[in-house]
């Protein structure tokens, strides 16, 4: 696993041993950022990476110009690896990782503070619809929310839906804080 583009291009990232995590593949991560960068400039953007695992999705945003990254993950081994990955890139990055339950963490936050939110919950995660609505509350007015999920889930009827793309067994859906034109 590596950073795909930007300031830290080609830097290798660690992953925790075992099968507790499902890191986003380089190909899917590149596709996500192609979709995001076609819709927003990442320079000086505040990013939230939920279910962050190794931190790879969020650290990719930092490599591409994001000014601040907050990662939230409940798995202690994964959060430790995410912190190691951030330190291996640059000790001066404005990056914070929290070991916390994502649902509880979201409820404790102020609305409208992130321009880009990334979430890669475990496939089969229950209660995605209310989770999506809670996450969208954290977006700035011009923000984007990117959800990686099992492609069997469909969110096209959600009022903030923008686009979905499938990549193998995975799908990526982008939501906007504004009512997007379909």
Query: What are the start-end ranges of the H helices in the chain?
Result: 26-37, 56-63, 76-89, 102-107, 128-136
Reduce the DSSP state of residue 140 to 3 states and report it.
strand
Reduce the DSSP state of residue 3 to 3 states and report it.
coil
Query: What are the start-end ranges of the H helices in 118-163?
Result: 128-136
Task: Please check the confidence at residue 137 and state whether its pLDDT lies above 70.
Answer: yes
User: Average pLDDT of the chain?
Assistant: 90
Indicate the pTM of the whole model: 0.92
- pLDDT grade for 91, boundaries at 50, 70 and 90: low
Token pair recorded at residue 134: 């809670």
87: which strand partners? none
Write down all domains in the chain, each with its CATH number in brackets. Answer: 26-176 (3.40.50.150)
Q: What is the pLDDT of residues 93-134, one digit of tens each?
A: 899 999 999 999 999 998 889 999 999 998 777 678 888 999
Q: Give the Cα separation of 23 and 120 in Å (integer).
A: 9
Distances (CA, A) of 85 to 1, 115, 119, 128, 157: 11, 23, 18, 28, 37
At residue 46, the pLDDT reads 97
Task: Please check the confidence at residue 181 and state whether its pLDDT lies above 60.
Answer: no
Q: Which residue has the tokens 């930007």?
A: 6
1/81: higher pLDDT: 81
At residue 122, the pLDDT reads 85
Q: What is the pLDDT of residues 46-63, one digit of tens each?
A: 999 999 999 999 999 999
Task: Please check the confidence at residue 175 and state whether its pLDDT lies above 90.
Answer: yes
């Amino acid at each position: 696993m590596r950073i795909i583009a930007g300031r830290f291009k080609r830097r290798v990232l660690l992953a925790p041993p075992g099968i507790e995590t499902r890191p986003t593949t380089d190909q899917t991560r590149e596709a996500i950022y192609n979709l995001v960068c076609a819709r927003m400039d990442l320079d000086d953007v505040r990013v939230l990476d939920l279910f962050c695992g190794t931190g790879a999705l969020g650290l990719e945003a930092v490599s591409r110009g994001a000014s601040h990254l907050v990662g939230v993950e409940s798995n202690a081994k994964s959060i430790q690896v995410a912190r190691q990955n951030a330190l291996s890139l640059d000790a001066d990055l404005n990056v914070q990782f929290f070991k916390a339950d994502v649902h509880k963490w979201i409820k404790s936050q102020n609305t409208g503070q992130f321009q880009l939110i990334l979430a890669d919950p475990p496939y089969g995660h229950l209660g995605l619809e209310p989770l999506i609505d809670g996450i969208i509350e954290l977006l700035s007015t011009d923000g984007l929310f990117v959800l990686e999920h099992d492609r069997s889930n469909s969110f096209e009827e959600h009022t903030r839906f923008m686009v979905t793309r499938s990549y193998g067994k995975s799908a990526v859906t982008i939501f906007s804080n504004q009512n997007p034109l379909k």
